[in-house]
Amino acid sequence: MKVIIGAGKTAFDGWISTQETELDLLNRADFERIFAEEKPTAFLAEHVWEHMTFEDGVTAARNCFDFLAEGGYIRAAVPDRNFRNEQYQDMVKVGGNGDPSHPAFSHKIVYDYKLFRSVFEQAGFEVTLLEYCDENGDFHFTYWNEADGKIGRSLRFDTRNSREKLGMVSIIIDARKANRNGADY
């Protein structure tokens, strides 16, 4: 079972799309109800964690960890505090532009790669950075397979990006729950 968290209109073959009203990352009872019969092998969360405080993000990551099958993973993406683009930063900042209809109005945090990685490491995951900007604003990319969870706001899939210029990037991670014997699937 593969589950998209906070899917909005996102739907992929082989994935179950959920909304916050069905699966509240902070409500352990939702996890217990939905995953009582079968634990998912993968979660996908594109631009979800920035809508929680850091502490709530750790709680959400722990809930995912506890209900994920051994060897499973969560692929997650958030806006990148280190991306050197003033228009982008204005768009993703905490509270957005103050307009309740603005997508970033409910943003509570803007992560850099170290802080985002730590959310999942504190929950017990082994984290691999796939896309991010470092402290100097330099963009880093490690190839990732879209079949394992497609992130639209990414180097390859966002139409605002070109070979000449980045227009929209995210911090993208894979956070893996190791098998008890230490091996992954």
Q: Mind listing the pLDDT tens digit for each residue in 65-77?
A: 999 999 999 999 9
Tell me: pLDDT of 181 over 80: no
Tell me: pLDDT of 112 over 50: yes
| CB contact set of 127 (below 8 Å; sequence gap of 6+) | 117, 120, 121, 173, 174, 175, 176
51 vs 97: which has the higher pLDDT: 51
Return the CATH class of domain 2-176: alpha beta
Domain boundaries, the chain: 2-176
CB 173 within 8 A of CB 76: yes
Please give the average per-residue pLDDT across 146-154, as a whole number.
96
Tell me: pLDDT of 89 over 60: yes
Tell me: pLDDT of 185 over 50: no
CB 166 within 8 A of CB 154: no
Of all residues in the chain, the percent with pLDDT exceeding 90 is 88
Structure tokens belonging to residue 93: 């900042």
Q: Mind listing the pLDDT tens digit for each residue in 49-60?
A: 999 999 999 999
User: Angle, to 10 degrees, between the axis of helix 54-67 and the axis of helix 113-122?
Assistant: 50
Burial of 166 (0-12, 13-18, 19+ CB in 10 A): middle
Q: Which run of H or of E encompasses 55?
A: helix 54-67
178 vs 153: which has the higher pLDDT: 153
Looking at residue 172, what is its pLDDT? Answer: 98
